[in-house]
Each structure stands twice: as structure tokens, then as C-alpha cells.
Homo-oligomer: A and B are copies of this chain.
Amino acid sequence: MYSFGEDSLTDKFEPKFDAAGLLTAVVIDALDGSVRMVGHMDREALDATHRTGLAHFHSRSRGKLWCKGETSGNTLTVEEILVDCDQDAVVLRCRAAGPTCHTGARSCFFRRLEGDDLVALEG
């Protein structure tokens, strides 16, 4: 299927940060696999996540390290990190302490696109 040790399919973690020094990070719920949020991680956020076990991101708007839930208490405890084939994206499988979206919704993806409109999902 695939070969380790060739090109980017190495068995060593060598993250391919983008021009802004970031990886895309998708947070999925450890209980049901659903997508909770998407964030961005730089080296500092990866290191802080490893050190604490809590998901950290780089805030593009504030330009700094951000521990999800540092003020709200709605932290994300990382159980597993998956890495994609070209190492420019990760999936964080997390146990969530509460809702993840700043709106209070469980997931940031609480609306679906219908034409040009956004419609709230049921439940």
C-alpha cells in the first residue's frame, strides 16, 4: 500500500509547516469521532500540547499560543495524534471537557450550507 522511509512517508515525525509556520489541526471527539473544531499549530503549540496533554493552538488572529479552554474551562485532553501522508495536517483525538465552540455549541460545525444560506443542524 505505502512504503515507509520514502519521501514524506518516513516513519519519523517531520512536520511540514506552511509558509506561516503552521499545521492544520482537526479536533475530533474521542467518544464518537465527530469533528469539533479546526485550528492551527506551530512548533510551540505542538510542544505545549505534548508537555501538558491539553490541546494548544496558535491563534492566527491574536498571533500567539493559545490553550483551548484556558478561560472557559472547556479544555481538550489529547488521547491520540494522527498525522497525514504529507505531514502538513494532524488529527487530535480528544476528550472534551464541555462544548468546544465559543458560541456554546458542542462543535464549531453546527451549521450546514444550503444554497447561500447556513442552516443550524438538528440537536
Contacts and interface: CB of A to CB of B under 8 A. Distances in A.
Majority SS of interface residues in chain A? loop
Contact of A11 (B26, B83, B118): B118
B2 A82 contact: no
Given A12-B117, A24-B38, A89-B38, A2 B83 contact: no
A72 interface: no
Interface string A22-48: 001010100011110110000000000
B35 A35 contact: yes
Interface of A: 1-2, 4, 9-13, 18-20, 24, 26, 28, 32-35, 37-38, 60, 80-86, 89-91, 101-105, 108-113, 116-121
